[in-house]
Structure 1
């Protein structure tokens, strides 16, 4: 009997060792997750969304589009709270999620430590009422509409999102699930949003933003490529992949990137870099104190503090004096006539970093065609007291490959991919089986 027990122990130990060894040696076929990025022009300003799989209903996933916001502290979207969907049921074509109670630590954290920093004019929130049949109060949190800047209220929840996996070249049929604390807001909260967009996808550095819920083997790296066209999507990766865009199927986009440090800002979960000068055709303006520059996926055009803006417009006017001018069209201060000229080409505007790296803004990202006869310099006067002094907007980000490395606190940027004969709309989203 003793011998038999010893034998069983040896066999179990042998199996256990080999199981742990197999787990340790397992390398998943994916190194990132991948999500399509859509451009929208049917709101007050151009905006961009990611398409996420949400609830699994009737043997298929529901899909929802969320605005990309790299400043927002947490995700919020159109859904309703149900503490027991089996008992109460969920209305057709509606996303139901489970509530976070006012007594749970997430409620306190999101309301205080990780909430929007000093939202202007937003009233304080109190504990919500209880749901039918549920013994706890709900957890209202403050949200800010990224389109209008207005305050709103949503209820914190337990969510489930699903995305495709990738190796940076292909989209796999294999899926990856994430389980964030998001918040449910009523459908009326999204009236200012583009059609069929019903949420905000927080991609900031907040511990309650989407990246905080994506775990190993994924590295904490966001790669974002905003499309300039409505017809084909751009792409968002999360993870440490090689990244490939057609037709250069063997060129890792990382080889095209320059890198500069990300700067922490005490009052924001967004992303900031340091710019010490702006160069236009051999003439530069030196900016005091390595000017803090914010990156935005909500602001449509780059805004410059008035003193910087005036210098850029003055210098740009000189280097484009051969191009006929046109009366300015708001919000722009410098415009050109394209009547009889067709498309125009202008010198690059270079943002120089304190580490010697430079981000070149080419014609495609500096000149906005307003009408058939008028094109304008797509930079805006942010006012004399604008803080930060520079905000780089989405028109300047389109067809630029951007990489936010949260592990090493660095920002990678490609400048215009059009010069490399590709674009953000050139990722191959065809589904393939993973090995």
Structure 2
């Protein structure tokens, strides 16, 4: 399949939509359109920063903007001076119900800007959690509908309140071309794009994420509103999902309950297993994150996992070599063999609770190993120290080519583990 371009995708998409509109005497209002089955937003990966960008249309006339995905982020933050002037964007007043709902009644009085606008600070996790000052704004956001196979020409819109932030602070550390941050967290549903779209069109409150390991064959996927999730060849990813509960998080991030860590089916011991649970102070547990490129482990867990992984690798005649920062365990490619799921190395399983049975989120070579040069692969987890808030962070590298569905009404995560052994990938084209 030919390599795809994000700009070509939207130019073609907008051209089709323009032709459709020209053929009609009147523009059909969104409420008069056939109800959408679900929504689709394409995702690309920036090879330099290892960030994932979602393309959305915003404003009137619609402008395509790319926002870096932060799975645990709480809302959409945009550098408003970086996209075309819009006739529909408005500042949210400080004394409005929107400001009070989003910030809380007491906080809204403390957040009045110079023009009596509702002030809002944005955290940038890609720049050491720097704070970008901004104001709460209301704007029209439009996305394409989908039937699960293709991105359809019809677009549907909803009003969304978001942070219109200072570009100097907000864009620092973001991938080139990134104009903001798309938060998909669940702490502030009033500002969540998936929640707003689902509510506006009476769709199930869920979204699905399939982040690509490269852009070689096309785009990754962000679905809103439920499946089916069809891949080239007709396979439906929703049929392969198994579900585990999402843990509570005070910040609205996505945590899962890991009961045990296994390497080649043997449980990893020699670490404080209480770290696997979130304590009363909100410390511990396992977080799923797109803002972290690689996995991060509490020092106690890291030492135990690396120790067992090295032993299992040696038993397979895989040679350990000098580590390459930021990784602590690296190996020669000399005696390695490759499978559909990447290099054949010890398999890591995270044991999770399921419906009456335990489930394994399997992390095979493509998601456990990082190639640093032609001759060296490194275990794609880093030491997060002993004071990290989350004991385990599954970063972007662990999520690539895995299909994840976040069911917000049931507070459940559906996952598939790697799609690669099924000859499927999160890099493809959903043609119009």
Q: Is the 8 A contact 1:100 1:107 kept in 2?
A: yes
The structure 2 residue matched to 1:142, chosen from 110, 121, 134, is 121
Number of the residue aligned with 2:240 = 256
The structure 2 residue matched to 1:171, chosen from 147, 151, 163, is 151
Rounded to whole Å, the distance in 2 between the matches of 1:239 and 1:114 is 34
Of 285-294 and 399-408, more deviation after overlay is shown by: 285-294
The structure 1 residue matched to 2:103, chosen from 106, 111, 121, is 111
Q: Does 1:320 align with 2:313?
A: yes
CA deviation vs aligned residue, 1:180-208 (integer Å, no higher than 9, x gap):
11121233231321111101112111222
Give the alignment of 1:34-183 within 5 angstroms: 34-43=40-49, 46-57=50-61, 61-80=62-81, 93-95=84-86, 97-112=89-104, 126-130=111-115, 137-148=116-127, 149-183=129-163
CA spacing shift, 1:35–1:114, aligned 2, 3 Å: farther
1:268 positional shift: 1.0
CA deviation vs aligned residue, 1:69-105 (integer Å, no higher than 9, x gap):
122222110115xxxxxxxxxx983456210011113
Q: Does 1:304 align with 2:317?
A: no
Number of the residue aligned with 2:25 = none
Q: Is the 8 A contact 2:227 2:238 kept in 1?
A: no
Number of the residue aligned with 1:269 = 252
Rounded to whole Å, the distance in 2 between the matches of 1:92 and 1:350 is 44
SS of the equivalent of 1:211 reads helix
Q: Is the 8 A contact 1:31 1:217 kept in 2?
A: no
Residue ranges of structure 1 left out of the alignment (5+ in a row) = 1-25, 81-90, 116-123, 131-136
Q: Is the 8 A contact 1:102 1:139 kept in 2?
A: yes
Rounded to whole Å, the distance in 1 between the matches of 2:421 and 2:105 is 43
The structure 2 residue matched to 1:241, chosen from 199, 224, 227, is 227
Superposed CA RMSD: 2.3
Q: Is the 8 A contact 1:301 1:394 kept in 2?
A: yes
The structure 2 residue matched to 1:334, chosen from 317, 329, 350, is 329
Rounded to whole Å, the distance in 1 between the matches of 2:336 and 2:415 is 32
CA spacing shift, 1:108–1:393, aligned 2, 3 Å: same
Rounded to whole Å, the distance in 1 between the matches of 2:41 and 2:392 is 29
The structure 2 residue matched to 1:201, chosen from 165, 170, 182, is 182
**TM-score by structure 2 length?**
0.81
Number of the residue aligned with 1:417 = 419
SS of the equivalent of 2:154 reads strand
Rounded to whole Å, the distance in 2 between the matches of 1:281 and 1:253 is 26
SS of the equivalent of 1:396 reads helix
Give the count of matched residue pairs: 373
Number of the residue aligned with 1:226 = 211
CA spacing shift, 1:295–1:158, aligned 2, 3 Å: same
Rounded to whole Å, the distance in 1 between the matches of 2:46 and 2:381 is 20
Number of the residue aligned with 2:404 = 402
CA spacing shift, 1:142–1:170, aligned 2, 3 Å: same
**TM-score by structure 1 length?**
0.81
Moved over 4 A (4+): 26-29, 112-115, 339-343
Rounded to whole Å, the distance in 2 between the matches of 1:92 and 1:317 is 49
